[in-house]
Amino acid sequence: MHSSPLVTSQWLQTHLQDPDLVVIEASIGKVIGKEPIVYESPVCIPNAIKLDIETDLSDLTSNAVHAFPSLEQMRSLLKRLGISQRQTLVIYDNQGIYAAPRVWWIFKTFGFDKVYILDGGLPHWLQERRTVADVYKESTGGAVDEELQLNPTYLKSSDEILSNIQSPSFTVVDARSEDRFMGRVAEPRQGVRSGHIPQSVNLPFPNVLNEYFYKSPQELGQIFGSLSLEPSRAIVFSCGSGITACILLVAAILAGRQQVSLYDGSWAEWGAGEVFPVEVGA
């Protein structure tokens, strides 16, 4: 396999029957920032397992919105699904590119090396009239990876974001719309202030996409270059609740950036916490 986070629909079609391939559909109930694709009847890529970010891959014991899953939660999920780190995972998205990057980053954070995103997702797969199914694969269960560990460097806490304002060592890039970033509109979540993290930079996530696909590495390099970020400077990605931030995170990797991480609490945490400073406007 190549080093890119992405695979093409042709690659996936060719390898669908590989015994060590696991196909995962990433789904989320509420789509914010783009017009959601609604399917009239069940349709999926053959042998796909469906994972829901809001239930399967969120720590439901946390008060945070879409909190990153705990180590024990991931061990339990992987045992139920029969998934191990020796397998190759391909994650696709029924919205094109929306929830899949978040699921990809979760697996990467827990040490999976052979995990990829289907560029174009299910919409492109259907456009090409490739093989489909109307039921998801039933999980059979299996042995758990006892070596499974969470890499803490892939995530940033609110304390780290706060201290970075006083002594900057990384740049926060916010994936929300410009109107939300500037504080021109009310936030969709009740009790959350409008505005953005001081010194953060805005890059709305649709800007790195061409419909269902990521833009080319060259285009993405120009986009990140236009933000005037130092090439060697670490980037931490934020959004409303840690989902669309991962779209930018993958785009940054495609653009050649290597020091990337996720502020998992994102604006749902920062905007609701009265102790955190907020900027409005430019």
Query: pLDDT per residue over 174-209, tens digit each?
Result: 999 999 999 999 998 888 999 999 999 999 999 999
Domains of the chain: 6-150 (3.40.250.10), 153-270 (3.40.250.10)
The residues, ordered by sequence, that sit 6+ positions from 99 with a Cβ below 8 Å of its Cβ are 26, 27, 28, 53, 93, 243
Cβ contact 237:249 at 8 Å: yes
Pairing of strands 213-214, 209-210: antiparallel
- Above pLDDT 70, what percent of the chain? 97
Rounded Cα distance, 93 and 212, in Å: 9
User: Across-strand partners of 236?
Assistant: 172, 261
Cβ contact 240:265 at 8 Å: no
Which two three-digit tokens encode residue 274? 């009265």
The yes-or-no answer on residue 239 being catalytic is: yes
| Residue among 134, 125, 115, 88 nearest 250 (CA) | 115
* pLDDT-flagged residues of the chain (< 50): 1
User: Across-strand partners of 237?
Assistant: 173, 262
For 168, other C-beta atoms within 10 Å of its C-beta total: 11
Query: Cα separations (Å) of 70 from 16, 103, 110, 156, 262?
Result: 30, 14, 10, 15, 15
Which residue's entry shows tokens 């986009």?
Answer: 223
What local confidence, expressed as pLDDT, does residue 63 receive? 77
Counting every residue, how long is the chain? 282
The predicted-structure confidence for 219-253, as pLDDT tens digits, reads as follows 999 999 999 888 788 999 999 999 999 999 999 99
Cβ contact 27:94 at 8 Å: yes
Q: Catalytic one among 51, 208, 239, 252?
A: 239
What local confidence, expressed as pLDDT, does residue 240 receive? 94
What is the reported pTM? 0.95
Residue type, 44: C
